[in-house]
Amino acid sequence: MLTSKVAIIEFDEDPAGALKQVLDMIGGIDDLNTAERFVVVKVGVFSHKAGNHTSVGIVDAITNCFDKAPKVFLAESDNYQGTGLERLQIWKELFTERIVPFNLSEDPDTRRVELANEEMNLSQILFKPNVLVDTHILRSFESGSILKNLFGCIPTSKKAKYHKILPTLLADVYEAIGGVALAVLDGTYFWRGAGGAPIQMNSLLVGRDAVAVETVGATLAGLNPQKMPVIQEFVKRSLGEGNLENIKIMGASLERLKEKFVSAAITQKKLLAQRKGPQTWGGHSYQALEGLIREGFFKHPNKRTLEHVVKALESKGLSTKGKEDKISNALARRVKKGVLKKSKVSHGWVYWTE
């Protein structure tokens, strides 16, 4: 039976020691760390050109904790930023004969499952008896971190169309693969909003209940888990604990850390205020949209609809509710300047770059 325990720790320069301490708090991982089972670490990395991914130190600590496993796979799939293997190069200094990068989009050994009323092939390494470790950064995104990271299990590089059914899809993935064995939320930095400027927090949240870890992390990030569709979909299916009152939190004081994170958010706002340009919604949207262009979101053969752009901006932490007209106007300005191209299709306009 899943136990809703979440251990929190603050660390200085020893993430490996910190991880061992929090694993002890939740009862250890002796049942997971065996010579009979491979370990799959599903890292979260949207772009290898950005820093918003689990740190090398934390991933190294995770692999070291599974010292009995014959193989540890660092797994990611393709997206429009690049192939899974390209993006996994962030952790290349950790690669050995035992610790191996693995592209979920290129695995010929798959299992056919139904996800969100659509049949898909998922890599066989995601399924039991392999041990799935889910790790991502602590961030203030409504779509989440740990649970959202399961989106990367989908092999296709064209994932944008699934954003509108994300809660259902993620919960279906979780159920299909048999859940997450261990969730490690990397709070080395706190990533807040679309403007970047992460704040170093040196914290770590770990638990066997991925929903509970997401819930505690979201609370620290200033979000309300009760209003996060992804968490609530998992709760509705009894896949984990989403009520903070029912989660046993061990280690660092949650209330004290919440105050620390509030202070970090204020610090970040000050950092953003020092940047060029107004820090209104328009200023943030300008930065986020420019980021999408630099990252190759519009790069041909990708042709993006307004809906695609809205979802991509939301994935960067930007609120887009009621802002569709402003986003459309921003795209039109970039077309006029020659930054983007556009053409009319049956369902509206599409935008791209050469």
Q: Do residue 183 and residue 113 come from a single domain? A: yes
What are residue 111's DSSP bridge partners? 122
Domain count, the chain: 2
Tokens at residue 38, please?
């491979």
Q: Do residue 163 and residue 215 come from a single domain? A: yes
Amino acid 338: pLDDT? 85
Type and span of the H or E element at 206:
strand 199-207
Q: Do residue 186 and residue 308 come from a single domain? A: no
Checking if the pLDDT of 296 tops 90, the result is: no
Q: Give the C-alpha separation, 49 to 217, whole Å.
A: 25
Mean of the pLDDT values across residues 276-289?
73
DSSP string, 309-340: HHHHHHHTT---TT-HHHHHHHHHHHHHTTSS
Amino acid 275: pLDDT? 56
Average pLDDT of the residues of the chain? 90
Q: Do residue 132 and residue 76 come from a single domain? A: yes
Q: Do residue 96 and residue 173 come from a single domain? A: yes
Q: Do residue 194 and residue 315 come from a single domain? A: no
Q: Do residue 201 and residue 323 come from a single domain? A: no
Neighbour count for residue 292 (Cβ, 10 Å): 18
Amino acid 1: pLDDT? 43
Q: Do residue 254 and residue 296 come from a single domain? A: no
267 vs 187 pLDDT, higher one: 187
Q: Do residue 88 and residue 130 come from a single domain? A: yes
- 174-224 pLDDT, tens per residue? 999 999 999 999 999 988 765 556 888 999 999 999 999 999 999 999 999
Within a domain: 269 = no
Amino acid 276: pLDDT? 47
Which domain does 325 fall in, by range? 281-352
Mean of the pLDDT values across residues 274-297?
76
Determine how β-strand 99-103 pairs with β-strand 110-115: unpaired
Range of lowest pLDDT (44-58, 115-129, 159-173, 185-199): 185-199
Q: Do residue 301 and residue 199 come from a single domain? A: no
Q: Do residue 242 and residue 318 come from a single domain? A: no
Range of lowest pLDDT (125-139, 154-168, 272-286): 272-286
Within a domain: 272 = no
Chain centroid to CA 20: how far? Answer: 23
Percentage of the chain with pLDDT > 70? 95
C-alpha dist (Å) from residue 98 to 41, 63, 102? 13, 10, 12
Amino acid 294: pLDDT? 83
Determine how β-strand 99-103 pairs with β-strand 118-123: unpaired
Query: Which residues lie closer than 8 Å to 142 by C-beta, 6 or more apart?
Result: 223, 228, 229, 314, 317
Amino acid 274: pLDDT? 62
Residue 297, domain CATH: 1.10.10
Checking if the pLDDT of 300 tops 90, the result is: no
Checking if the pLDDT of 250 tops 90, the result is: yes
3-state secondary structure 208-231: CCHHHHHHHHHHHCCCCHHHCHHH
Q: Do residue 291 and residue 256 come from a single domain? A: no
Amino acid 318: pLDDT? 83
